[in-house]
Amino acid sequence: MVVVCGSSSSRILNKLINNHGGLYGRVTCEINLLPFSLHECELFLRSKGIEMSRYDMAQAYMMVGGIPYYLNYFAREKSLSQNIQSIFFDAGAPLCNEFDLMFSSLFSNPGVMQSIVRALHTRNRGLTRSELLRATGLPDGGDIGKYLSALIDGTFIIKYDSFGNGRRESFYKLIDPFCLFYLRFVDRQSGKKVSDWDNLADSPSVISWKGIAFENVCFNHIRQIKA
């Protein structure tokens, strides 16, 4: 018996599950491991002795999603704002460079993947394929389809159909909570990088972000229930 696991879902799909060579038809079981749901995040933090209100739990999920590795950085002696400050914004914060490290570890072409995610971050409704190509400068060919499929398989983005204006269009939308938070407040390229989260927590920019982030939390929660 051979068990293959890893965070690079696109590589596992291409090299193993969808393999057309000697491994064709040899996979006997697939386990699609999703991030924690809100309830599972609550149970995980509670096991570490961390008690949060449901409101703070939802906010924490908006920032790091249901990734146990990120949740493990929360300390029980700190408030939510203090945790976010120490995890993202303090000198030497453990997740201050996570965006670059994550894409480098998951993809062989991290720069291209990041450019797609950055472009999708600019529009909450997402972008059509043609809009995405214009925004990134990528050529229209088979590779863009592979890039988008890899990001969909990694649950960074979704593809959905929009109805209106007499025509049906497909949009690609960024839904990963960590990427949405990081690109909005932590990323140096955004021009909005902050250093003191505690004083920013009730600002108009954060309140505006919370509305968008909560929509994605609801979507992810519904998607996990269906899965």
**CA 156 vs CA 13, 75, 124, 168, 174: distances in Å:** 16, 27, 14, 23, 6
Per-position DSSP letters for 102-130, written without gaps between them: HHHHH-S-HHHHHHHHHHHHT-TT-B-HH
Looking at the structure, tell me whether residues 84 and 65 fall in a common domain.
Answer: yes
Say if 86 falls within a structural domain.
yes
**Cα end-to-end distance, the chain, whole Å:** 26
Say if 79 falls within a structural domain.
yes
**H helix count then E strand count, the chain:** 12, 2
Domain that holds residue 25: 1-33
pLDDT attached to residue 61? 92
Short-list 171, 166, 169, 190, CA closest to 179? 190
Number of other residues whose CB lies within 10 A of the CB of residue 120: 29
Looking at the structure, tell me whether residues 45 and 17 fall in a common domain.
Answer: no
Short-list 136, 173, 131, CA closest to 152? 173
Range scoring the smallest mean pLDDT among 6-15, 173-182, 217-226: 217-226
Say if 81 falls within a structural domain.
yes
Is residue 164 over pLDDT 70? Answer: no
Six-digit token pair at 226?
């269906």
pLDDT tens string 28-66? 888 877 889 889 999 999 999 999 999 899 999 999 999
pTM above 0.95, yes or no: no
CA 101-107-108 angle, 5° bins: 110
- Tokens 């593809």, located at residue: 159
pLDDT attached to residue 72? 96
Own/partner contacts of 94-102, CB < 8 Å, gap of 24 or more, are 95/64, 95/70, 95/182, 95/186, 96/186, 98/70, 98/178, 98/182, 99/178, 99/179, 99/182, 99/183, 99/186, 99/187
Number of domains in the chain: 3
Is residue 157 over pLDDT 70? Answer: yes
Say if 50 falls within a structural domain.
yes
Looking at the structure, tell me whether residues 46 and 111 fall in a common domain.
Answer: no
Say if 183 falls within a structural domain.
no
